[in-house]
Structure 1
Amino acid sequence: MAKLQNPNLAKIHRNYTVEEVADLFSVHKNTVRLWIKDGLATNDNKRPLLILGSNLREYLQGKRASAKRKCLPYEIYCLRCRTPKRPAENMVDFEIINGRTGRLIGLCPCCNNIINKYVGIDQLAHIQSQLDIALPKALKHINESNKPLVNSDFKK
């Protein structure tokens, strides 16, 4: 999987060669050459190719912005498919984390991978109009059970 490069590593008032950019971002020189073919501006067409740091930073910020996918309130981002998806059968479970937040847990309809999304409890009413949310039920305390456990060794 491709690693996201941090655009802030490039100094904006410095010129870089292809090799220096490759070392700076820990990528191969051919990757930097592909970036140039893809639209990364160089100073001129003479050798060695020089890349202005501000152009490099703008290019990487643009690549990062184009890779982002905004989820709607009822969508959950699937890491395997790399797209926001509506959970399978529009069903999710809600797991409380603390007093104000929780986690929606569902299945991706394409790859059947588990997908998660952290939401505030105040957002549940809005999301519940689009998805079927299974809220947690209070568990019975073990002392309140009127039937003894099957694996107990009671001798009467």
Structure 2
Amino acid sequence: MSRRYKIQAKKHRVYDVHAVMELYDVCRNTVSNWVGAGLMPSKGQGPHLFRGLELNRFHAARRAQGRHNLRLDQFYCLCCKVAVSPHPLSINLWQTERESRMAGGACSECGATVMKLLDATGYERLKNALRPNANLSEIDERKEEDSVDIGTEAPLRVPEWPSMNDRIIHDWQLYAGRYDVKTMDAHLTSIRDFEDFLEGRCFSQVRDKDVGKYRTSLLAKGEMPQEDGGLSASTIRHRASHLAAFVKWLTKQEGYRRLSVTLPDYFDLPRQKMAKVLARPDKLYPSVEEARAMVQSMPNLTRAQRRDRALVACAFLTGLRAAALSSMRLKHIDCEAETAVQDAREMRAKNGKSFTVRWF
């Protein structure tokens, strides 16, 4: 099976080895090979943990390398579509009838056969390195060049400081397993934003004045236009609420109990400031007549077109979320009684909520 590793890990999450194996459908040895190839585990003692941002950076760098500019110890695997370093014991060297020099081995990740053509110098250096079972990565003497970042897509940047909080955030993820996936991601966004404000400082060193300064910065962003990095009032309230709940949990964990128990209170927002931030223009929304005209103008020749038309009509009638609408069945709708049922046992409902909707 071709493994392009285009799966995107959630950048704010922390993954243990087992979670990485499930995410990319690889074995434990493959994860170990990735660490040897440049994947950086999170700081701290204990089993390896990996931040999602680092996983994405590592695989993006491997895909960008492609078939060109391979180091002497690297082979391009046609199955994995990335550069790999096979185990030294699997590498074989031979010369063809036309005096071409070849090297082959087994991919360290999928086991497929990898080969490449060598010049005379590279052939001799690789041959000499295999005799004492030396580390193949040390035989390449080329200097790495920094990317000039040419193109339309911005390169994936990682924080300048190593995260000292990945292990406690991983523990919090286990605690937050009761939340919906999207809710957990929203909490992690707030936690990482607070960590960036602290410039990567360990959460065990957080003081009251740090939380006060962060609260001030949140309120300042509420008065800025969103084009310049400003935040809406809803985002500010949610971030303050998320961080207050996280810090309250943090003060009960081993190694963090010296934190002030009043830290969560410092995330409370002043009502006078929030009242100014709340002033937002009303959003425009279509009227019932406009919605009816839009549905009637939609094509209905094919089954897929009629399905799309029904989804749009149900969205206006019931007000359900997109995930719930896409998992709705005919049995959940009663046209005579003009009701729709959101059954969390059979539909993708947020927080497992079930209720009945009566449309107008």
Instruction: Say yes or no: TM over 0.5.
Output: no
TM-score (norm: length of structure 1): 0.41
Asked which structure has the greater CA Rg, the reply is 2
TM-score (norm: length of structure 2): 0.18
Answer 1 or 2: higher relative contact order, Cα 8 Å, separation at least 6: 1
More helix by share: 2
